[in-house]
Amino acid sequence: MSETTKGACFCGAVEIEVTGNPEAMGYCHCSSCRSWSAGPVNAWTLFKNENVKITKGINQVGHFKKTEQSDRQFCRACGGHLMTYHPQWGLMDVYAATIPGQTFTPAVHVFYAETVLPMKDGLPKMKDLPSEMGGSGESVPE
């Protein structure tokens, strides 16, 4: 049995459960995350889609797709953000804040070229995305 971690939206109408450990964890500094979340930086955890389940309130889950690469999911009752599905990778970005029981150990910053909140923590800073995820793979200074 793999370990499960529970999460919920701001009001509790939607509950989710993730199984096992994330494939990756880090911070995103892109303008899309900023605009949607209203926060300067987004802390993300990427899980295989099959390891993420909505356990309560599936009818309350709203979806917004500005592009086909990101299916943003939120609670219709409170507007709280839950996660974003990336079909091109088969990975679900469950926001770290949605699953507070998951130990957050970030390894990388992505889209750092767009940052408005530089974070000098010594972690690698990618200009956009790693090359294996379709980005330039270039690093930028902190």
Helix (H, G, I), strand (E, B) or coil at 43: strand
- Tell me: does residue 25 bind Zn ion (CB under 5 A): no
Stretch 67-126 residues interacting with Zn ion (CB under 5 A):
75, 77-78, 80
- Write the DSSP assignment of 45-87 as a string of letters: EEEEGGGEEEEE-GGGEEEEEEETTEEEEEETTT--EEEEEET
Min. distance of Cβ 117 from Zn ion in angstroms? Answer: 13
Min. distance of Cβ 1 from Zn ion in angstroms? Answer: 29
Closer by beta carbon to Zn ion, 11 or else 20: 11
Query: For residues 56 and 73, is the Cβ–Cβ distance under 8 A?
Result: no
Min. distance of Cβ 35 from Zn ion in angstroms? Answer: 9
Closer by beta carbon to Zn ion, 26 or else 80: 80
